[in-house]
């Protein structure tokens, strides 16, 4: 019997020939009768968005997809499948504050396989939460624009920045001015743009001054420098760090410090406004060189001309155990006067070794941060663009405390929403949050104060 030419060929040629035959059969309709499966995974064109609602209301999450074939849906809460949640919308009826902080995502499947959406967060406003906001009265309510509250002592005294007198003072809740610390009546300040104070567990006060750039703008590559003061329990004063940056001078090696927080190993941490980068400074050495602790931009800015860099907002805080939280939105433009064309926004928890862990307080990065014990409060905007005050637990769950609706503009928090011009002025020892209603003239002065009483923890 004659030998088939395919069988006489070398193995590699035999394989090729058999493949060719198979392809021919397929083209002629031979082979398997099974339908060709969908070749592409589903494409999620609109991921679920964060939802803010009040207790007792409903909340709805949605997803939109493109697919060349039929799809199925499975919603997940905190990574676990929800029974019966198998459509493109997930509706939750009568939500409660215990639901706040939960994350919701959806798995979309077609014949080619499955994809999973980004997770969206549910923030639940307590019933009657807005009733916990009141216009400040007494000593706090009597402060004028030129006297700015920048924090509270552990005993409840107010730390007041006397702008006209260029000094930091301590005022009791009864309105009496008392020594700032020990024998020191007041701390003399330079002409500053921002002032922050930390009452440290070591008994000392640490104060940062942030200078305006000589050009008259803080949001340039050339911040104006600043100071870090230490005031000991007996009132003795030392300057731990100082820098003055001229307009034409390269700022390399010099900081524009903004904010102050308790750092690891007894150090103090501050943010460099122009980077933004977190630095640590030892508390026992005067006129020391700060050490970079964490570079907070995932993608550092390009090295551009001095007026092309902008920091929109920057905030720093630390919990009683020394956990550091930092937040910023920074941008750069193609020219000194052009609109910002790129933003880098971050919210981070920073460990004792400088490791960054991304976190999410809301739909935007936080405008302001402040800690009380192990809880962190943040001012953020929700998906509708309204300012919210949220609280983050030590475990990472989020709770909406106030805001999230009403007017996004002036006037301030009452009535209705918080408005977009409030900032965190401080937190009292018992945990009440003080909001300052910013003047719109870029002075950083507060027109009035509001007191927020959060729900019990």
Q: pLDDT digit of tens for each residue in the chain (457 aa)?
A: 444 443 334 433 333 333 333 334 334 444 444 444 547 999 999 999 988 777 788 899 999 999 989 999 999 999 999 999 999 999 999 888 778 778 899 999 999 999 999 999 887 765 544 447 788 889 999 998 889 999 999 999 999 999 999 999 999 999 999 999 999 999 999 877 889 999 998 999 999 999 877 554 554 445 688 999 999 999 999 999 998 877 655 556 788 899 999 988 878 999 988 777 899 998 887 777 888 888 776 544 443 333 344 555 788 999 988 899 998 776 554 444 444 444 556 789 998 888 889 888 877 788 899 999 999 999 988 777 778 888 999 988 888 888 776 544 443 444 345 767 889 999 999 999 999 988 877 677 898 898 988 887 7
Closest-CA residue to 307 (of 338, 345, 273)? 338
Rounded to two decimals, the pTM is: 0.71
Report CA-CA distances (Å) from 331 to 233, 275, 307: 41, 11, 12
Beta pairing partners, 208? 196, 228
Q: How far apart are CA 363 and CA 327, in angstroms?
A: 13
Closest-CA residue to 349 (of 340, 341, 358, 361)? 358
Q: How far apart are CA 351 and CA 371, in angstroms?
A: 16
Contact 135, 104 (CB under 8 A): no
Q: Do domains 43-125 and 129-452 have the same CATH topology?
A: no
> Which 3 state secondary structure label does DSSP give 163?
coil
CB count in 10 Å sphere of residue 224: 28
In this prediction, residue 125 carries a pLDDT of 64
Closest-CA residue to 141 (of 126, 153, 158, 154)? 158
| Dihedral sign, Cα of residue 321, residue 322, residue 323, residue 324 | positive
Q: How far apart are CA 306 and CA 309, in angstroms?
A: 7
In this prediction, residue 15 carries a pLDDT of 35
Closest-CA residue to 376 (of 354, 356, 355, 347)? 347
Question: Domain 129-452 belongs to what architecture?
Answer: 6 Propeller (2.120)
Which residues 6+ apart lie within 8 Å of 329 measured at CB? 311, 312, 313, 343, 344, 345, 364, 365
In this prediction, residue 338 carries a pLDDT of 46
Q: Where does residue 308 rank: exposed (0-12), middle (13-18), buried (19+ CB within 10 A)?
A: buried
> Which 3 state secondary structure label does DSSP give 40?
coil
Residue identified by tokens 């009733």 is 131
In this prediction, residue 130 carries a pLDDT of 46
> Which 3 state secondary structure label does DSSP give 438?
strand
In this prediction, residue 11 carries a pLDDT of 36
Q: Where are the domains of the chain?
A: 43-125, 129-452
Under DSSP, the state recorded for 306 is T
Q: Where does residue 162 rank: exposed (0-12), middle (13-18), buried (19+ CB within 10 A)?
A: middle
In this prediction, residue 126 carries a pLDDT of 59
In this prediction, residue 16 carries a pLDDT of 35
In this prediction, residue 84 carries a pLDDT of 93
Q: Going along 211-290, which residue ranges are E strands?
A: 225-231, 237-244, 257-262, 268-272, 277-281
Write the CATH number of the domain with boundaries 43-125: 2.60.40.10
């Amino acid at each position: 019997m004659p030998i088939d030419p395919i069988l006489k060929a070398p193995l590699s040629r035999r394989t090729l020939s058999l493949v060719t035959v198979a392809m021919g059969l397929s083209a002629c309709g031979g082979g398997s009768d099974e339908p060709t499966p969908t070749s592409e995974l589903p494409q999620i064109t609109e991921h679920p968005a964060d939802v803010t609602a009040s207790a007792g209301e409903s909340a709805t999450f949605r997803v939109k997809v493109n697919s060349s074939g039929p799809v199925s849906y499975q919603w997940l809460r905190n990574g676990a499948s929800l029974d019966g949640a198998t459509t493109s919308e997930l509706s939750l009826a009568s939500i409660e504050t215990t639901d706040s902080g939960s994350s919701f995502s959806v798995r979309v499947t077609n014949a080619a396989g499955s994809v999973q959406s980004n997770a969206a967060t549910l923030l639940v406003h307590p019933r009657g939460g807005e009733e916990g906001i009141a216009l400040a009265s007494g000593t706090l309510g009597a402060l004028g624009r030129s006297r700015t509250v920048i924090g509270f002592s552990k005993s409840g005294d107010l730390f007041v920045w006397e702008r006209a007198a260029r000094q930091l003072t301590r005022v009791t809740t009864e309105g009496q001015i008392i020594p700032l610390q020990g024998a020191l009546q007041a701390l003399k300040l330079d002409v500053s743009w921002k002032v922050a104070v930390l009452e440290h567990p070591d008994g000392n006060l640490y104060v940062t001054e942030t200078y305006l750039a000589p050009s008259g703008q803080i949001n340039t590559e050339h911040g104006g420098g600043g100071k870090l003061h230490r005031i000991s329990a007996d009132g003795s004063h030392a300057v731990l760090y100082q820098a003055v940056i001229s307009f034409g001078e390269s700022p390399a090696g010099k900081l524009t410090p903004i904010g102050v927080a308790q750092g690891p190993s007894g150090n103090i941490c501050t943010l460099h406004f122009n980077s933004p980068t977190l630095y640590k400074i030892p508390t026992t050495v005067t006129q020391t060189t700060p050490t970079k602790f964490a570079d907070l931009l995932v993608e550092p800015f390009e090295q551009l001309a001095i007026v092309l860099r902008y920091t929109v907002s920057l905030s720093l805080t630390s919990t009683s155990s020394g956990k550091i939280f930092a937040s910023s939105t920074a941008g750069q433009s193609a020219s000194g006067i052009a609109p910002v064309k790129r933003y880098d926004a971050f919210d981070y928890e920073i460990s004792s070794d400088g490791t960054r862990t991304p976190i999410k307080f809301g739909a935007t990065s936080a405008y302001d941060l402040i800690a009380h014990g192990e809880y962190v409060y943040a001012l953020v905007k929700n998906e509708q663009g309204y300012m919210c005050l949220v609280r983050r637990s030590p475990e990472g769950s989020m709770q909406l405390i106030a805001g999230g609706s009403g007017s996004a503009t002036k006037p301030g928090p009452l009535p209705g929403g918080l408005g977009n011009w409030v900032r965190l002025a401080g937190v009292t020892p018992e945990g009440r949050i003080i909001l300052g209603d910013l003047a719109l003239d870029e002075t950083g002065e507060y027109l009035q104060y509001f007191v927020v009483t959060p729900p019990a923890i």
